[in-house]
Structure formats: structure tokens, C-alpha cells
A and B are shown apart, each in its own frame.
Chain A
Amino acid sequence: MIEVKNITKTYGKKDNVFRVLNDVNFTIPDGASVAILGKSGSGKSTLMHVMSGLDRPDKGQVVIDGQDILSMNQKDIDKFRSTAMSFIFQSFFVQANESCYDNVSLPLEIANVPTKKRRSKIEAALKAVELIDKKKSRARELSGGQKQRLAVARAIVNQPKILFADEPTGNLDSVTGGVVEDLLFDYNKRNKVTLIVVTHDEDLANRCDIQIRIKDGEIESVKGKK
């Protein structure tokens, strides 16, 4: 369970203070799929960064399974992120010069997974996104859709508990975007992994269990399917 409590985040100083997030509160049950919706600049990405401990808010708590990750020290928060979370970004951020295999290997190396155990995990992840035949290809040779599938493989390889995706289909056409969406929801359903998707896309949002709408840094509405 993820509990977001009284999160406030500001930028700037004194006369020029800008509230990106203003007293945000909500709760996400384990294994849910959640869409965070809102206009550009409304604070969606910032919220995602705060929830994952990448960014520190001015006030508030992010409690994951009973533990406030914002009160952890940097070392523990890094460890938590390397073992329990992963990310997919709008612009992929795959390493163009590295092979697909090495791209997917990165989170395992960061999480100190022993070398022997890596191969099977990497190959399973590449199979899941149907890129196993591109194992040795450099990432720069892939198409946009393939790159994002590679990013998905990298995100799922270490079996995280929470998967954050910031506009995962924003740079893809609707067909390839659909493939990536299917991969994410499939993974979410099958492994009971919490999926948090930041998106503009209403259709994508409607496939999620919960829709959280943000406007000017404040929660506009939280809707669940049930």
C-alpha cells in the first residue's frame, strides 16, 4: 500500500514561490493500476518523483508498506529504489551504445544481483517484451517502439513491487503505444505489481483501476473502478 500524505512541494524563493504540489493526499492499494492525469505543467511528474523518493517535498509523507520513505537516509532510499521500484520514461533513456542485454543488466548490477543469477532474469525479461532475438544488438539500432519495450524489460527484470511510467506511450504511435500498454497491464495483472502511469491519454487512463486527476498541483478527483 502506498499512502501519500499532505505532500507540498514548492519551487522558488520568497516573493517568487511557486507551489507545484499543494497538500496532496491519496492511497493506492497493492497491485492496483493507477493513472495520474492532468494538464501539462500541473505537477504530475513532480508527484511521481516525490512518490519514488527521487525528489524531496517541503512537507508530507510517502508511506510504502508502513514505512515513510522520505524519512530514510539516501543510502536506504537508493537501496529501496533499486530493489522495489522501477521506471519507464517518455523518452526511453535506453543506452544507445550498449547492447540490449547490457541495458537490461543495469538494474541487476545496481541491486547487487550475483552475476550467475543475472542471465536467466535478463533473458526472461527480454522474452517478455519479445526482444530476445535482439539480445546482442545495440539499442541505437532499435525502432522507437522497440526501445520502449527494451525500457519495459529493464523495468521488470528485477521484479519490482512498484512500476512508475511517465507518459510511456507519449513518443509512440497508437499501435506501438498499444503494444507497450498491453505489456504493462499484463505485467501488472499477472504479478500483482502496482503500476503508476502518468498520462494525458484518456483511453490509457480508463484501462487503470484508479484515476487521479491533478489541477494546478491539487487533487481534483480520485476515481476508482469499484
Chain B
Amino acid sequence: MRLRDVSIRAARSLKQAKARTLLTSLAIGVGAFTITLSLAAGVGGRAYTDQIVSANTDIKELSVAKAKPQEQQGPQKYSDTSSGVATGLFAGQYLNLDDISKIKQIDGVVSVSPNYNPQVRYISGPSGDRYLAALSTFSPSVTLKLAAGSTSGDLADNEIILTEAYVTALGFSDDQSAVGQTVNIVADKLSSPLSNPESRTFNYVVKAISSKSGLAFRAQSTLLLSNNASKTLYDYINQGTRNYGNFTVTAVQAVSADKTNTIKQTLTDMGYFAQTAADILGVINTFINVLQGILLGFGALAVITSVFGIINTQYISVLERVQQIGLMKALGMRRRDVGRLFKLEAAWIGFIGGAVGSGLAVIFGLVVNPIISKALDIGDVRLLIFEPLNIFIVVAGLVLVAVASGILPARKAARLNPIDALRTE
């Protein structure tokens, strides 16, 4: 018997038992739904973290600290030679200027930019109103979403990138007209005596306006200066204080991305704690993978349950159709074809379940994606990404699972003695 004829007959007998077919498929559909969703969430999640990391870090960059921060196990011993930091959660040591210059010597290191994060007094613009501001260092290879202006290469030392929120606050009429204008930042020299405080105004030209993006954490809240400008501010503010030249972390730029691992090794050998962008991504991705694994586990559980459903349904189907099987065998249908008929029925059940389940998952994704994006305030980023190949693999895999579940009932049908079958009235 031809495969085509067998599969038409298989589909027809499923159609005759619609309710049963659908209910059995439903079980496998639940599995398909969960698995498809977990795969989509994995793909979407990893893509999302990829984008986050590339929007906030540079793949050529390493983040270096004095030593791996330790969870605080009781009070830490004080040491005169190295200054330390202690928060409620962890204790660690600062990097000092010695460390910075040592790191600069390492082969493959282009530059070292400690996180200056200068603590300025305020920023003001044409309106004269004063605002608090957090500043950080601009990195040319970090993707920014710009509302106005543009950055080609690095920032000049007298340039600043504002965020959209500051535009109207500082007194500019719109994003575009702010570009090219000057803003003032006022900083205090901390080492100046209280009786005679000293402060200075620094002027910057607005180079660009960064807009709020679901990806760029820094761009949302901090104003960006060039590395040198940050250092100048930092030096002015902190020079002469006890904490001057102490940094919790520093960014280290490598010549190329493939150098980062050897640099990391050197740094580790020297006793520093270094992380590449890939490490940071890896930590986030491990988290996503664990979540995805849990979801996949639920999906697999549903599939395993549905296996018993299929076996049960197909056994009942064989018992119900003893006469039909007997007749077909009497008419010369081969055992192999009888077996195929039942395996194909199982395959159809698997296909319907897989297609319906993953189809519903895709619809679910379409509905839920904008809701999630809105709730998490991540703009137009999609957290569920359905890859056609993944869906194909899920459906094909479930068809195989269904066929495998159908093997035992199919064998029972194939081995049925036609005479016994035809005797049953």
C-alpha cells in the first residue's frame, strides 16, 4: 500500500474520532506551547542581554578591580598600606594610581580609564536653573541612541552629551537647538578649607542628545564626558584628599577584542580581578539559561505525560477497529502497512498538537511582547523571539515522539490475527 493512501486513511480515521484526537493532541500541544515559548524566551533574552551589553560595554574593554569583592564575613582587618572600602554587603580594596600605571604597562593595553565619576555640584544652562548631575565617561564603541547631534569617534575634551531630560530643564527649546550650545558645570575642590571654599566653573559644548532607550542604562541618567574631561574634573575635585587616586574599578581598553582574554589572564596572575564583556554577558546569560531550562523542563514533563495519552488513545483505537484491521489484512494488506497506518495516526496527533501548541505560543508572543516591553519599559525590544527553525524542530520532534509512542499500539495492530479479528461480531 502506498504511503499516500495510508496517510489519507490515517487522517480520515482521526477525523472520525475528532474529540478524541483533539484531546490527545491537546496534551502534546501544552508541551509544544511551553517548549516553543521557552525557546523564544531564551532567544529573545539572550538577544536582549547581548544588546544591553553592547549598548553599555565595549567588547574590547575589561573591567578590573583590586580583588574579587568578597561577601562580608564579619569585620575586615584594617591595613595601613592599602585603603579599603566596606559597605553593608561586601568589603574590598581600592585600586590606586600605582595599580593604574602597572596595568597600563601590560602588553595589549591601549588605555586605562578608572571610573572617575566626578561628583560635581550642579549643571546649568541658558535658563540659569541649577540641576544635580551624574557624570560618566563616554566610550566610542558603546552604542548610544541619539535624539539629536552625532558622535563620530571620541568626544573632544570640551564636549558633553546630554540626556533628553536635561534639554528643557537647562532652558533649550528642543533637542536640535541644544546641540552646539554651551552648558556650565560647577565643581567644588574638596581639599579647600571650609573657611575659604573653592569652586570652579567648567564649560562644555553640547555634542549630542542621547534619548531614552530600553537598552542603554548609562545614557538614561548620566551625562557623558570624554575620559580626559572626566579626569580633569576628578583631579580638581579630589586632589589633596585622602581618597584621591582610589578607584573601585577601572576600565581597561585592549587593542582588539581577541586580546582581552590574554590581558585578563595577565591581570589575574598579577592578583587583580578582571572581567571581560563576555564574562559579564555570560553571567546574565547563565541566569537566562537556567530560567529557560526550567521552562523547558515543564514542557518536557507535558510531553512525557502526553506520550501516555497517545499510547492509551492508540490502544483504544486498535481495540475499536479490530474488525477493520482484520478485513484489511484479509484483503492482503501487509503487516508493515497496518503498523504504518497506526504510526501515521500517531504522527498526525503529534503534528496537530505541535502545530496548534506552537501556533498558540506565537500568537501569545505577539500579544504579550508589547505588554512586557511596556511593563519593563524597554522600548521596542521584543523579549520573545520565535525562530522558524526552532518551531520546525519542535513540531518535527513532537511528531517523532508521537510516532515513537504509537509503536506499541501499531505493533499490536500489525500482529492481530485476521481470523480472530473477523470472528468478533
Query: Does B425 contact A91, Cβ atoms closer than 8 Å?
Result: yes
Report yes or no: B1 in contact with A112, Cβ–Cβ below 8 A.
yes
Q: Given the interface contacts A55-B419, A91-B425, does A109 sit within 8 Å of B2 by beta carbon?
A: yes
Which B288-338 residues sit within 8 Å CB-CB of chain A? 323-324, 326-335, 337
Asked if A49 and B419 sit within 8 Å, CB to CB, the answer is: yes
For chain A, the bracket of interface size reads 20 to 34
Q: Is A107's beta carbon under 8 Å from chain B?
A: yes
A74, A78, A85 — most chain B CB neighbours (10 Å): A78
A89: nearest chain-B partner, CB-CB: B422
Closest to A87 in B: B330
A110/B330 in contact, CB under 8 A:
no
Contact A78 B334, CB 8 Å, known A98-B12, A109-B2, A112-B1:
yes
Residues A97 and B16 in contact, CB atoms below 8 Å apart: yes
* B422 close to A82 (CB less than 8 A): no
Judged by a CB distance under 8 angstroms, whether A18 is at the interface is no
Residue B5 is within 8 A (CB to CB) of chain A in the complex: yes
A54–B2 touching, CB < 8 Å: no
CB of A95 within 8 A of CB of B324, answer: yes
A89-B422, A91-B425, A98-B12 known; A110 vs B331 contact (CB < 8 Å): yes
The reply on B397 being an interface residue by CB < 8 A is no
Instruction: With CB as the reference atom, state the residue of chain B lying closest to A94.
Output: B327
CA distance A107 to B335 in the complex (A): 15
Asked if B333 and A82 sit within 8 Å, CB to CB, the answer is yes
With A89-B422, A91-B425, A98-B12 known as contacts, the answer to whether A75 contacts B331 (CB < 8 A) is no
User: Which residue of chain A has its CB nearest to the CB of B337?
Assistant: A110
Inter-subunit contact B334/A107 (CB<8 Å):
no
Of all chain A residues, which has the CB nearest B335?
A74
Tell whether A110 pairs with B324 under 8 Å between CB atoms, given A49-B419, A91-B425, A97-B16: no
Q: Are A107 and B331 in contact (CB under 8 A)?
A: yes
A75→B1 contact, CB < 8 A: no
Min CB–CB distance B4 → chain A (angstroms): 8
Q: In whole Å, how far is B413's beta carbon from the nearest beta carbon of chain A?
A: 15
Which residues of B are found within 8 Å of A1, using beta-carbon distances? none
Verify B333–A110 contact, CB threshold 8 A.
yes
Instruction: Report A105-125 CB contacts with B as 1/0, cut-off 8 Å.
Output: 011011110000000000000
Given the known A-B contacts A78-B334, A79-B332, are A54 and B418 also in contact in the complex, defined by CB atoms under 8 Å? Answer: yes
Q: Are A78 and B332 in contact (CB under 8 A)?
A: yes
Residue in A85, A91, A110 with the greatest tally of chain B CB atoms within 10 Å: A110
Contact indicator per residue, chain B 328-362, by CB within 8 Å of chain A (1) or not (0): 11111111010000000000000000000000000
Q: Indicate if the CB atoms of B334 and A81 lie closer than 8 Å.
A: no
A93 adjacent to chain B (CB < 8 Å): yes
Contact B331 A106 (CB under 8 A): yes
The CA-CA distance from A95 to B333 in the complex, in Å, is 16
Q: Taking the complex as formed, is A80 at the interface, i.e. its CB lies under 8 A from any CB of chain B?
A: yes
A90 to B, closest residue via Cβ: B425
Residue ranges of B at the interface with A (Cβ–Cβ < 8 Å): 1-2, 5, 9, 12-13, 16, 323-324, 326-335, 337, 418-419, 422, 425
9 nearest interchain CB pairs? A82-B332, A81-B332, A109-B5, A78-B332, A97-B16, A110-B333, A93-B327, A78-B334, A107-B331
Mark A residues whose CB is within 8 Å of B. Answer: 49, 52, 54-55, 74-75, 78-83, 85-87, 89, 91, 93, 95, 97-98, 102, 106-107, 109-112
Further 12 A-B residue pairs, CB within 8 A, beyond A86-B331, A87-B330, A87-B331? A54-B330, A55-B419, A80-B332, A82-B331, A82-B332, A83-B332, A93-B324, A93-B326, A95-B324, A109-B2, A109-B9, A110-B328
